[in-house]
Structure formats: C-alpha cells, structure tokens
Amino acid sequence: MPCECKNHPDSFCYVCGDLTLKAQRKPLFPLLKTAYHFDCQVGDQDKDWVPKLCCTTCYSNLTKWIKGTRKSMHFAVPMVWREPLCHLTDCYFCMTSTVGFSSKSKHTIQYPNIPSDVRPVPHNESLSIPLAPKTYTLQPETDLEDFEPQPDDEEYPAGLVHRQPHLVTQPELNDLVQDLEFPKSKSQLLGSRLQQRNLLEKGVKISSYRTRQSTLKLLFSEDEGLVFCPNSNELLIELKMPCDPHK
C-alpha cells in the first residue's frame, strides 16, 4: 500500500501483536530468533509492513523457555503477518485504535482479526507445548540481565502516529458520491462504511441520501402525463453543473 499507516508497525510486538510502548521494546536479537519455537522462522524483516521489534514480555518468556526456566508461551501459534491490501478494512496498524492508552490500560485495546494479520492461537490438544532444545548459542548482548526496566506508566508516544486519518466533510462526501455516480443505495452504503470506521467529520449526515431526489422533484412539473423542467438553469445549479443563464 502506498500510503503510510495510522500507527507505525514497530509500535506492535512481532510475536504477540500487542501494542508495545517505547520502554517495553526489544530488538529481535539472535537469541530471540533461536527461541522462536513456533515451527517457523522470524521472517519478512525486509518488509515495511512487518514489526522489527518485540515486547519485553515475549522476549522474557521466550528466553526463559529456551533456558528451561519457563514451561511455555501463552500461545501455540504467534502473530501471523501478511501484506495488507487496504488501510480501511485490511490493515492491522490502521484499524487498531491506540491513542490514549498507557501500559496499565493497553490490555483493554481491541485488536482486529483480519485476513492480512491473524492474532495468536492458544495451546490446545492439537497444538502441544514444545520442549526447549538442549543446546543453543547464547549471544552475550542479548542476555536478559542486560535489560533495564523502565517506568510502567509511560503514555503512548504521539510521535508514533504517522498520520491522523482525514475526516471526510459533508461537501467532500457529496462530491465523492457525485464523482463516482453512485445511486442512492450505494451512496448510503459508502457513508455507512465510513461512519463505522470513524472517518466522517462530526455532523455529517448520510440519511440525506435517502431523500436526495426530493429537491429535484420540486424543479419538475407534470402536465397531462408529460414531465418537464420549466427552469433548466435552476436544475443545473442544483446539480452543480456549469450553466450560462443568458442562454
């Protein structure tokens, strides 16, 4: 997708997909990649739609698992990242509302389950808990002891929001409907979809499309079964089409 997302991908954990505040981020060190035991490898790190960091919780749990001090992660299948197709309906970073949350309240964030990005799957009978390997290579700079805890009350940094969504005004919506030559039903559907995603400016009315023909009806007359417009200039003005009143 050519446009930037509402939230930066590195604001989310590569492993669990949760919002990760600045003080709670860890790079995907070789140790973590070694401990990434989900029958797949850490991948797509060259793509701009994939997080390059993980949260301290996943880092700690994975490294403790590989050291034998933790039995398992909370889930059997981690976050699955795929390239999004649409910012409005298929983008994890745009569809997740993150503004105003802190580390103490971010557990209440509602995350979308969409085709491009699938949330972690917990352990069950068919997804058993794996055993930690007996040997592995430990990178000194990735040891847990190197991590220094940070205050846990940091608010979500506003700088991570690349771009606030543009809220569509009533004139813009009307122009869009007219440019697309939408009938009444599709005009209402477009307005409804934008409203569901909080992309309409306050006060924008989509119910007006149900009766948008009412004003036009007043410009027409009927005589003996013949319908006609006695003033074509007023009709063109109502349709926002160029007209010359002297012709």
DSSP 6-34: SB-GGGB-TTT--B--GGGEEE--HHHHH
- Please report which confidence band the pLDDT of residue 105 belongs to, taking 50, 70 and 90 as the band edges: confident
Only one residue has tokens 């850490």, namely 42
* Burial class of residue 158, CB neighbours in 10 A (0-12, 13-18, 19+): exposed
Residue boundaries of the structural domains of the chain: 9-122, 164-210, 213-246
| CA separation for the pair 154, 134 (Å, rounded) | 38
The model's pLDDT over 54-101, given as tens digits with 9 standing for 90+, comes to: 999 988 888 888 887 877 777 878 888 888 888 888 899 999 998 888
Do 19 and 11 meet the contact criterion of CB atoms below 8 Å apart?
A: yes
Please give the DSSP secondary-structure letter assigned to residue 211.
G
- Please report which confidence band the pLDDT of residue 134 belongs to, taking 50, 70 and 90 as the band edges: low
The whole-number pLDDT of residue 133 equals 66
The whole-number pLDDT of residue 92 equals 92
| CA separation for the pair 91, 84 (Å, rounded) | 5
Q: How many residues does the chain have?
A: 247
Most confident of 15-19, 43-47, 118-122, 177-181: 15-19
The model's pLDDT over 212-222, given as tens digits with 9 standing for 90+, comes to: 666 777 778 88
User: At residue 207, does pLDDT exceed 80?
Assistant: no
The model's pLDDT over 222-241, given as tens digits with 9 standing for 90+, comes to: 888 888 888 777 777 766 66
The whole-number pLDDT of residue 136 equals 61
The whole-number pLDDT of residue 10 equals 92
Q: In Å, what is the CA distance from 198 to each residue of 18, 87, 124, 209, 229?
A: 22, 13, 37, 19, 40
User: At residue 117, does pLDDT exceed 70?
Assistant: yes
| CA separation for the pair 166, 169 (Å, rounded) | 9
Task: Tell me the pLDDT of the chain averaged across its residues.
Answer: 76
User: At residue 185, does pLDDT exceed 50?
Assistant: yes
